[in-house]
Structure 1
Amino acid sequence: MAWNEPGSGQRDPWSSKRPSGGNHGIDDVLKRLRARLGRHGGPGGIVTIVLALLLAWLLLSSYTVIDARQAGVVLRFGQYARTLPPGFHFKLPQPIETVTKVETTRVRSLSDSVRMLTRDENIISIDFTVQYQVSDARAYLFAVDDVEGTIAAAAEAAVRSVIGHSDMDLILSGEGAALVDEAGRTLQKTLDAYHCGLQVTAVSFQNVAPPAEVKDAFDDVNKAREDKQSIENGALAYANKVVPVARGDAARIAAEAAGYKAERIARAQGDAERFSLLLKEYKAAPEVTRKRLWLETMEQVMAGNRKVIDGSGGRTIINLPPVPAAATTAAAATSDADADKENQP
């Protein structure tokens, strides 16, 4: 029995090699071609199979499907022809045109750890991470040979440039976020100069600290910085408490001085005006004015003293006011001091 006679599918040499669940349309075409070749044989049947396979190959390689997360770069005889957006596209069959698919929405990341010198010549260790995407599929494929190595070198150069122009205190303080942003801009500028089709999405610093060999010294420096800040805060609080009080006292003293000044000026002006009036009256009636001034003076002198009325008929009595006790004590002490000075050799 011939191998292609019906009745025993196990004798079919193609049945054991055909994968299960394949393309049934192509399998049917091949079955018909095999049946025709088995019936007729000869070079004509072989040519028919070759033509059928060539036609199937042309049909299958004349289109491509680009995923929504991808971009397709079309090469025609190895030279760039065009870039395909997501969707279904027709193209020339291989090897005339080939399509290389590049994922443009996937976020790639790169991490590295470096030691470097700051502007104030301190050593610092930084772990940094760079996240990036493909912005130009053609440049990504053909601009540079080693994309990972290029972005790693550019990222390290950007971080070294930023850290090398900053002081240790600034790097370790809360202003480090500004340095991260500056490093990202520097890295993107470098990648744009390379025309490698990459877009930096994020740059972050982790474990920014001095090396372990000098950690103890930096801990002492940080503690001293914290003590300094604490003392400055205490001094500022004391100044905020004392300065307003001092300013209030100064304002009060200035107001009292201004009041005293106004009082003295007003009193002096009043005395001058009074003297001018008295002078005018004195010029008009000297005797009357003189007597009036004497009477007013005696009134002021006698107003504070005890009066003694003498009814004996003309005996003169001088009434002296009593001396206060404090004045008596002070006078006695002065007399004793003068006596001691005189007795000294």
Structure 2
Amino acid sequence: MTTRKKAALISIILNVLLTGLKFIAFAFTGSLAILAEAWHSFSDITTSVLVFISIRERRASPAAPEESGDESKSIPLEYQISFLIGLLMFFVSALLIWKTVTGSAPVIENSLLSGIIFIIFAVASYIVYRFETSVGQKENSVGLIADGMHSRADMVNSLLIGFSLVIYRMGVNIDTPVALIIALLILSFSTETMVNAVMAYKRKEAEYVFRYKTTTIVLSFFEKRTWNRILKYSEENFTPKIISSALLVKVCKCFCAVVILILGSFYASECIYTIGPSQEGIIERFGKPINYKRALQPGIHFKFPWPVDKVIKINSKSIRTKSIGNITDEGSFALLWAKKHGTETAFISGDNNFFYPYLVVHYRIKDVFEYRYNHIDPEILLDSAASRVISNIFSKKAFYEIVTSYRKQFELDTVRLVQNKLDTLNSGLEIINVNMKDVHPPIFISSSFEEVIAAYQKKEELISKALGYKNESMPRARGTQVRLLKRAQSYVMDKTKKASGEALRFKMQLEGYKKSEAVMVKKIYLDFIKEALSKNQKIIVDPSSGFPEIWLDSKQLFKSSKIGLD
């Protein structure tokens, strides 16, 4: 196998792999852009196959002489395949354009992950592009180089889709415009394929090459010589005798076969369908549901084609929003009472004040069968039930209470009461939460309401300050009370314990006195002598030294001496 054939075969395998992955990605996302890109990648497979066939045919007969006679009129296989593929892609592009123009913007699942995957696909297409062009330049193969250019276009489309899927996660949906752009590229490719197949057959080219681009083809229609050639060719060839020619019969048969093949393929594709990750499905057979109370879960499913079966897909797991009461303008950001920022449908409060509430209900579908078959429009039912509930609640509450302290409890009460009402009506809806975005009075009396609200706020401020002072003073007073009480209790306990101790000590001493009375008398006597003599000056004479012979003037001695001896 030559290098050219190996390169063409490798590119076929890579393109088949990428195309299959893109069709799988469409099944799990529902993106029209991915569907269009999958068909565009399918066109890359066809060009790679045509290049492979032309290289093989050229290799099999490198120096074949020019055919003559009837053989000169035979159309080479690659040109026939090329023309039929171009016709097929033309119908595909037309259907894609019709679907993008007439259909609504799809809901895309797993957009961020799919966007990253398509950026990886773009890298893979770039590798195929570099591989084919490098081999084509080395082997001097114009077909491989042209096929590589198609892979480069596929790379650009994959990058565009990856970008659109990433920004879809941010809330910007450009999936339909991107799908339309890719569908137009497929239309351009199909036109190029058919024109180049016809021109290659006329020129007897050995290798299949895309020589004529869409711009060249379109501009040629504005040239006078092009129309002259078409008229001349028609006069020379399209005479009554050609109607019965074998070539015309063969072309008609091929055209009918292609049309039948396309219609059959699309009709057969109706047998396979997918349910998205956030969807549940209902299948109807001749208008009657056959899976009642057993909703189809996400995945790939099979059914009979139209008009037998019909699949209804419902986004049951996604959270929906519904504005109740009044609707805020998208361009209004400052929620000021003196400024109109949405519709103004008046509600009345329990104290006979008119006001405009702006509420948003978040809900989802919990039973697709009740949602589909019990009511014509469940959203209108939700709006009516919620409006009745909030009107009833507002009529029992004062305006100031509604805009201040009751807001959180109002949301909880609304969820409970609206859900009970919807369950009674078997609506199939589940209320997630209710958000009161804004409440304001009529604009022409908003200044008066602001003054009243300011007075209420001042009142609440004074009450809060008084409560704060109370909460601060009462604990301090209680603490002082407890401290004084504990101090008095400790004083009483201290005196009581001391008195008890003194009494016990005296009692024990008394018992000791009774047991040794003589000792105690002597002790008392000595204590008395000690106490009596301790306050007077004394002269102590040692009896062992004898009686003094001369008594000194004791008075004079006491006056001159400051010393007393014990």
Number of the residue aligned with 1:271: none
Distance 1:21 1:95 in 2: 22
Give 1:60 shift.
2.7
The answer (yes or no) to whether the contact 2:274–2:301 under 8 Å persists in 1 is yes
Number of the residue aligned with 1:17: 87
Task: Name which of 87, 93, 97 aligns with 2:309.
Answer: 97
Task: Write the letter of the residue equivalent to 1:161.
Answer: N
The question of 1:163 aligning with 2:394 is answered yes
List gaps (5 residues or longer) in structure 1. 23-34, 256-345
Deviations 1:218-267 (A, max 9, x none): 2222233233334445655379759959x97xx99xx9xxxxxxxxxxxx
The answer (yes or no) to whether the contact 1:9–1:15 under 8 Å persists in 2 is no
The question of 1:62 aligning with 2:271 is answered yes
SS in 1 for 2:451: helix
Using a 3 Å threshold, how does the CA distance of structure 1 residues 105 and 11 change in structure 2: closer, same or farther?
Answer: closer
Give 1:11 shift.
11
Deviations 1:50-81 (A, max 9, x none): 99788756643333221221111100101111
Using a 3 Å threshold, how does the CA distance of structure 1 residues 93 and 168 change in structure 2: closer, same or farther?
Answer: same
Number of the residue aligned with 2:350: 119
The question of 1:107 aligning with 2:327 is answered no
Number of the residue aligned with 1:71: 280
Give 1:16 shift.
4.7
Higher gyration radius (CA): 1
The answer (yes or no) to whether the contact 2:88–2:262 under 8 Å persists in 1 is no
Deviations 1:170-195 (A, max 9, x none): 21223310001111222222222232
Number of the residue aligned with 1:85: 297
SS in 2 for 1:95: coil
Task: Write the letter of the residue equivalent to 2:284.
Answer: L
Using a 3 Å threshold, how does the CA distance of structure 1 residues 124 and 102 change in structure 2: closer, same or farther?
Answer: same
Question: What does 1:246-285 correspond to in 2, within 5 Å?
Answer: none
Task: Name which of 385, 400, 423 aligns with 1:192.
Answer: 423
The answer (yes or no) to whether the contact 2:400–2:453 under 8 Å persists in 1 is no
Using a 3 Å threshold, how does the CA distance of structure 1 residues 222 and 73 change in structure 2: closer, same or farther?
Answer: same
Question: What does 1:296-307 correspond to in 2, within 5 Å?
Answer: none
Distance 2:436 2:270 in 1: 47
SS in 2 for 1:17: helix
Deviations 1:299-344 (A, max 9, x none): xxxxxxxxxxxxxxxxxxxxxxxxxxxxxxxxxxxxxxxxxxxxxx
Task: Write the letter of the residue equivalent to 1:85.
Answer: Q
Question: What does 1:230-249 correspond to in 2, within 5 Å?
Answer: 230-233=461-464, 237=469, 241=473
Q: What fraction of aligned residue pairs are identical, expressed as a percent? A: 22
Distance 2:405 2:347 in 1: 20
The answer (yes or no) to whether the contact 2:319–2:363 under 8 Å persists in 1 is yes
Number of the residue aligned with 1:28: none
Distance 2:471 2:264 in 1: 93
Using a 3 Å threshold, how does the CA distance of structure 1 residues 6 and 126 change in structure 2: closer, same or farther?
Answer: same
Q: Give the alignment's TM-score, normalised by structure 2.
A: 0.35
Task: Write the letter of the residue equivalent to 2:275.
Answer: I
The answer (yes or no) to whether the contact 1:117–1:163 under 8 Å persists in 2 is yes
Number of the residue aligned with 2:228: none
Distance 2:249 2:472 in 1: 108
Task: Write the letter of the residue equivalent to 1:180.
Answer: E
Using a 3 Å threshold, how does the CA distance of structure 1 residues 155 and 239 change in structure 2: closer, same or farther?
Answer: closer
Distance 1:81 1:210 in 2: 52
Using a 3 Å threshold, how does the CA distance of structure 1 residues 214 and 48 change in structure 2: closer, same or farther?
Answer: closer
Q: Cα RMSD (Å) of the superposition?
A: 4.4
List gaps (5 residues or longer) in structure 2. 1-69, 93-245, 327-344, 489-566
Looking at secondary structure, tell me which structure has more helix per residue.
2
Distance 1:47 1:20 in 2: 15
SS in 1 for 2:435: strand
Distance 2:446 2:437 in 1: 17
